Amino acid sequence: MLKPNKKKTGAKSAGKRFVIIASRYNAKYVDSMLKAAVATLRAGGPCEVEVIRVPGAFEIPVVASQLAHSAPDAPDAIVCLGVIIQGETTHAEHIGRAITDALMHLQIGYRIPCVHEVLLVQNESQAKARCLDPKTNRGVEAAQTAMVMAQTLGELRERNRLPF
């Protein structure tokens, strides 16, 4: 799997505004991703980082939608963090698909990056590997993606002189 690298991309967070929406459910894993994401964004330069906590992953899209609708005060990027662990039914898959579809439509419709790190994992071992291991913490990857996308869209807006 290809991992984003801030040094290779040159992405910075300086002067940007990021909002992280993080689920409280499966807090042990989400909190680790959240901590890593905030640290990564701040390491990219002086920026504004706001954290909004929601009860579960399913609630993330409605908050992302409210943020996206808040133009011209919308953030440069929204980072969505959550962990869904597969159970005995297909409930987790339905939740995961609904979140994916909602975030996709939001970012396309409002041209605001909605970085999707709402993980759908099979078991706690996978959650530990993706959230608690500093080498593979998806919070870092999410923050790096947010910086790259905020920079990329900012450059496109400047080039095209678009108001959004």
Minimal CA–CA distance to 148: which of 2, 16, 1?
Answer: 16
Q: Would you list the domain boundaries of the chain?
A: 14-160
CATH number of the 14-160 domain:
3.40.50.960
Instruction: Kindly state the tokens that stand for 32.
Output: 């680790």
Is 105 annotated in the active site? no
Task: Grade residue 154 by pLDDT with cuts at 50, 70 and 90.
Answer: confident
Q: What is the pTM (predicted TM-score) of this model?
A: 0.89
State the virtual CA torsion across 160, 9, 35, 29 in degrees, nearest 10: 100
Spatial distance between the Cα atoms of 144 and 44, rounded to a whole number of angstroms: 9
Spatial distance between the Cα atoms of 115 and 135, rounded to a whole number of angstroms: 19
Q: What is the pLDDT of residues 14-68, one digit of tens each?
A: 889 999 999 999 999 999 999 999 999 999 988 999 999 999 999 999 999 999 9
Q: What is the pLDDT of residues 67-124, one digit of tens each?
A: 999 878 899 999 999 999 999 999 999 999 999 999 999 999 999 999 999 999 999 9
Catalytic position from the list 69, 91, 105, 116: 91
pLDDT for residue 133 is more than 80: yes
pLDDT for residue 7 is more than 60: no
pLDDT for residue 134 is more than 60: yes
Answer for the pair 119, 127: CB distance below 8 angstroms, yes or no.
yes
What is the pLDDT, as a whole number, of residue 137?
95
94 contact partners, CB below 8 Å, separation of at least 6: none
